[in-house]
Structure 1
Amino acid sequence: MQDEDKDGALSDGKDAWALWRGFTSARIGLGRVGNAVPTAEALGFGLAHALARDAIHTPLDVAALASELNAQDWPALPVKSRAPDRETYLRRPDLGRRLDADDRVRLDGVRGDGCDLAVVIGDGLSSAAVARHAAPLLAALHPLLPEDWCIAPVVIATQARVALADEVGEALGARMVTMLIGERPGLSSPDSLGIYLTWEPRVGRSDAERNCISNVRPEGQPCGAAAFRLAWLMRRAVALRQTGIALKDESDSALPLLAPDGTPRLE
């Protein structure tokens, strides 16, 4: 067995941490140069920090996302929260939880007789997550939903927090609402998408009344697996007529094998 020094280098000069880095994007075994980290690690940290900031501050291209959804036969409606700009959104989370007054009136006007499911896509704290993963996730979800469900047009919300979906679902008369939203970026995950499911949405619902699926991205939970889990939770929510702490996620026992691209493989 080769000896390893305190910086992780083997006696033959090889990097003892190289194997482990193949299994995680976490920063492990960074090494050092004098009292500092190596230049490559310092530059990598700076890049990761810049990507996280870009994910938060880059505006979501709503038109491009709507075009992707329309190509999948998902009609889309753009709305905004009461936060007038990004700076206000970051400083006033409460404004991101409520619909712009004019948009609330517009959604009330398309309510009709209500629907079984409303889907909301919110930019949240990572527009990169939404731009990359929202459309693929809905493409994977669509064939898993019951054909007799009435589904409202997809609502694309900017300057949005999770609870904004409650008001959207209430306005559309939805039995349940799911929110796809950009999660707070980490230094190794600037494009992580979160999913929240709420039964009988209305303003004032608490987080204890929602189910959450987190870290949806190729390096975390692939879109295919997340879509299967979400469809499973939706069916159970209908059966129990509730979500949140009353609905335990036991979808792992039913999760099919996954293909390399993360899509369910039924075999």
Structure 2
Amino acid sequence: MSETGVGGMSELVTHSEDSALWSTLRRHTQARIGLGRAGSGLPTRHRLELQAAHAAARDAVHSPFHPDTVAAALTGMPTVRVRSAAPDRLTYLQRPDLGRRLDATDRAHLPSGEWDLVFVVADGLSSRAVHEHAAAMVRATRSRLPADWRVAPVVLAEQARVALGDDVAHAMGAAAVVVLVGERPGMSAADSLGAYLTYGPRPGVTTDADRNCLSNIRPPLGLMYETAAAKLVALLRGARELGRSGVALKDESDALPTAVAQSM
């Protein structure tokens, strides 16, 4: 693809060899590259694809969370349901601070104990991501945890943001929390799940610098469950040994032999 200029104006000229190059590159990325031009805009096909992706992103943000769907997929695992202080979706989107705090009534009903870890499954900004990936991610992670780890019931949180996990872990007495949350949809993915690990969370004190994040969990186009779970368990082991998470804790799981990483 080349440009020729006349009087400061440029005209996009497409060559057949360039088209073949873009086609090859597009097989390795979901980014919208080399789409070409129709007049002053995009070709109709690509414009329609972009509009469809935007609609999917909006649907992901506004689609309701169904805790029953996740609970049914967590076969044999006890669950607890909570809500944030945001009473509805509109308030949740307009008041991020309320999505970080537990509803006071729900906090009082959380079971407490001496847990090593609690999983919080939060709808976040994509309930679709949670419905499709959260249960599988919990199972994959739990299967790799040491047998002596005490894991609390899975908390299913509605209208929730990442920091809600601090409130949940503090109320339940858990040393660490992993929040599995629907990530903000983009034009390439509306079903991306994020996993946020926090060790020793303190509501209102813990910041994002105290967390470790694994992003874009969504097989087959993103991070696979097995890979994400191995990384997460490696981080959990490291956080327990170090006594903290976040910027002080590095993900070194890629440096481990494959057999070791898969056994963790």
Task: Note if contact 2:166-2:177 (Cα within 8 Å) is conserved in structure 1.
Answer: yes
> 2:90 is matched with which residue: 77, 87, 90?
87
Alpha-carbon distance in 2 for matches of 1:9, 1:116 = 60
Q: How do 1:1-267 and structure 2 match up within 5 A?
A: 6-10=12-16, 15-69=20-74, 71=75, 73-107=76-110, 110-111=111-112, 113-204=113-204, 205-218=206-219, 219-254=221-256, 256=258
Q: Quick one: distance in 2 between partners of 1:102 and 1:132?
A: 29
Deviation by residue 1:193-213 (Cα, 9 ceiling, x = unmatched): 111111112212111111111
Structure-2 change in CA distance of 1:37 and 1:22 (3 Å): same
Secondary structure in structure 1 of the residue aligned to 2:155: strand
Mapped partners of 1:134, 1:255: distance in 2: 27
Contact kept? 2:195, 2:213, Cα under 8 Å? yes
Determine the C-alpha separation between the residues in 1 that align with 2:175 and 2:128: 29
In 1: Cα distance, 2:155 partner to 2:257 partner: 28
Measured against aligned partners, the alpha-carbon deviations of 1:128-147 in whole angstroms (never above 9, x if no partner) come to 11111111111211221011
Determine if contact 1:125/1:182 at 8 Å carries over to the other structure. Answer: yes
After superposition, the C-alpha distances for 1:87-112 in whole angstroms (9 at most, x for unaligned) are: 000000000000001001001xx20x
Please give the alpha-carbon distance, in whole angstroms, between the structure 2 residues aligned to 1:255 and 1:50.
42
Instruction: Indicate conservation of the 8 Å contact 2:230/2:262, yes or no.
Output: no
Deviation string for 1:36-82 (max 9, x for gaps)? Answer: 2111001000000000001100011111111111x1x2211111000
TM-score, with structure 1 as normaliser: 0.89
Distance in 1, matches of 2:19 and 2:187, equals: 27
Letter in 2 for 1:215: N
1 CA distance for matches of 2:217 and 2:24?
25
Contact persistence 2:116–2:176 (CA under 8 A): yes
Are the counterparts in 1 of residues 196 and 214 from structure 2 also a CA contact under 8 Å?
yes
Q: Distance in 1 between matches of 2:201 and 2:126?
A: 24
SS at match of 2:226: helix
Q: Distance in 2 between matches of 1:103 and 1:45?
A: 40
SS of the residue 2:116 aligns to: strand
Tell me the amino acid that sits aligned with residue 119 of structure 2: V
Match of 2:154, as an amino acid? Answer: V
Closer, same or farther in 2 for the Cα pair 1:8/1:138, shift >3 Å? farther
The gaps in structure 1 that reach 5 residues or longer are 258-263
TM-score, with structure 2 as normaliser: 0.90
Pairwise CA RMSD: 1.8
Q: Which runs of 5+ in 2 are unaligned?
A: 4-11
Count of matched residue pairs: 252
3-state DSSP of counterpart to 1:171:
helix
Q: Distance in 2 between matches of 1:103 and 1:255?
A: 43
AA of the residue aligned to 2:99: G
